[in-house]
Structure 1
């Protein structure tokens, strides 16, 4: 039976805001640009993308200093007369650092779900996103689409997707350019405690290892973190699988974690598969990431069948 989400049929993000400056800066009634005081603009609630005073911020500051804000930010009004930023947090921060008073803004009447979808879509294609940024962004968008799909059709809706029977996770995957399995793996990271997510962002814990660790309950994750700090070691993929196994059996404790993290192992076998051997088994249109995803899925299936 098709999901009720298939009934949603609204204007897409591209149609609403455009993907280029000309579309965004249109001066029709809906896209009219206002100069809004910076003091009245506040970050999006639970905004998952970090706004850092780094080299990229310096470049943004330099651009705005020379040419002004070329692309207006997008915001929505709040009941107290202030505004919530939907897209443009980095531009707003640059203006703050430059000591400006106002910033060009397009104010839109969007509900929570519409705002979340636009916020994620306007940031998710940025380069060098942290694992945690993508994880929480995908989860926020997925939850927003699910909530939108579960409501009666509202002709006033401005942003959304005609899912045509597709699952919400498939829509998120298609629009992000990643596989459904990869998006699900990212979302699993949101189950990690903050310090383990940070270790993953710092690439001290490998991504797929972190996904396995996300299945541990919070209390067990905290025990694991304590042992990581005490022993100055991080679990490998093989060790993470063992930790998850003992956790599932209800027998994971500090002693077991200690034994697993300190266990010695033979040097792992290194296997290199040349691209010419791999590509003949996949369509020419497959990207490197798609091929890796298929191989990972097959290996996970093999492991589950032989452990």
Structure 2
């Protein structure tokens, strides 16, 4: 996935006024160690899903940086086109700037794929934040990304182990190898245990990560309950999700668990039309759609014993019934055309 470049300003006032301006240029990447870098050279990770600290949490971080400085270095990704993308440290950069700092300590990483970068973003956020303090959308995004990483377990554990030692050098003794810290990374089973979540809850979070932002943000605000969001996530057509979000915004419709179940049922049955969406949100529709599948028919034991022996298997009985019905309907068609 290509990282979108920032748009150039529509008007360059310095150029228009004939003023020569010395612009900052990105320094050559540093291979190892921690260096100081101007915040002006750093870019936020594209489509960063984790909200910046606000309120008391932000105030506390600003106060801490004013007193002690930035204790944990910011991790940057040096891209092939010479840009520095923040992988870990969006809050530290923001708080440091509010504290009056112009630069901060960084660790620069090169030769990363976009997937490697995403993995670092999610893993470091899981480690540095309290999971209970995350919003539903942040939890869903983080767990979904972790799940994807687990599907290719071992792909870049060397990368994660190195980041672990960079962020937590006190946790790694001199005799440990790069392979040993890897065992501390969460498996899919341990993921739920670390945050007091059952596997079912983890699965639900991963599902709701498929909701578009206007809907999942309503989960964050409490307008949509978590279980309702789970049912709604089965509406996998983004255009239909957007239609639901637009109607909730324009007509102030509420979405409760019952309506979400109806959306789930109508989408599964292939009957979620624009009209059905309006009827469900307005409360006009209150029942699940009728299934197009034929209802199962039970044959009484007396009928079975009339034509079959106890030694015949279920498969043999089904085959005879199938042939008998085919012959019956063939004769019916012959009578109609005669």
Same fold flag (TM > 0.5): yes
Distance 1:264 1:258, change over 3 A: closer
Q: Which residue of 2 aligns with 1:32?
A: 33
Distance 1:114 1:262, change over 3 A: closer
Distance 1:226 1:49, change over 3 A: closer
SS at match of 2:197: coil
Distance 1:227 1:158, change over 3 A: closer
Q: Which residue of 1 aligns with 2:215?
A: 196
Distance 1:174 1:86, change over 3 A: farther
**1:20-79 deviation line (CA, Å, top 9, x unaligned):** xxxxxxxxx997321122122222343221124533222211221122112222233333
SS at match of 1:85: strand
- Structure 2 residue 161 is matched with structure 1 residue 141: no
**1:168-216 deviation line (CA, Å, top 9, x unaligned):** 6436445555322222211212221221112111110001101111111
- Structure 2 residue 109 is matched with structure 1 residue 90: no
Work out the CA distance in 2 between the residues paired with 1:110 and 1:129. 30
The residue correspondences of 1:169-248 to structure 2 (distance < 5 A) are 169-170=188-189, 172-174=191-193, 176-216=195-235, 217-248=237-268
Note the residue ranges of structure 2 that are not aligned, 5 or more in a row: 1-29, 162-178, 286-338
Q: Which residue of 2 aligns with 1:159?
A: 160
Counterpart contact for 1:142–1:172, Cα < 8 Å? no
Q: Which residue of 1 aligns with 2:27?
A: none
The residue correspondences of 1:99-138 to structure 2 (distance < 5 A) are 99-109=100-110, 111-112=112-113, 113-124=115-126, 125-126=129-130, 127-138=132-143
Q: Relative CO higher for 1 or 2, CA cutoff 8 Å, sep ≥ 6?
A: 1
Work out the CA distance in 2 between the residues paired with 1:46 and 1:245. 32
Work out the CA distance in 1 between the residues paired with 2:71 and 2:104. 10
**1:227-280 deviation line (CA, Å, top 9, x unaligned):** 323542312212211221112112223433333334489xxxxxxxxxxxxxxx
TM-score w.r.t. structure 1 length?
Answer: 0.63
Counterpart contact for 1:65–1:98, Cα < 8 Å? yes
Distance 1:172 1:58, change over 3 A: same
Work out the CA distance in 1 between the residues paired with 2:112 and 2:190. 20
**Bigger-Rg structure (1/2):** 2
Work out the CA distance in 1 between the residues paired with 2:227 and 2:261. 10
Work out the CA distance in 1 between the residues paired with 2:91 and 2:152. 28
SS at match of 1:106: strand
Work out the CA distance in 2 between the residues paired with 1:42 and 1:82. 8
Counterpart contact for 1:131–1:201, Cα < 8 Å? yes
Work out the CA distance in 1 between the residues paired with 2:216 and 2:42. 29
Q: Which residue of 1 aligns with 2:315?
A: none
Work out the CA distance in 2 between the residues paired with 1:109 and 1:37. 18
Q: Which residue of 1 aligns with 2:325?
A: none
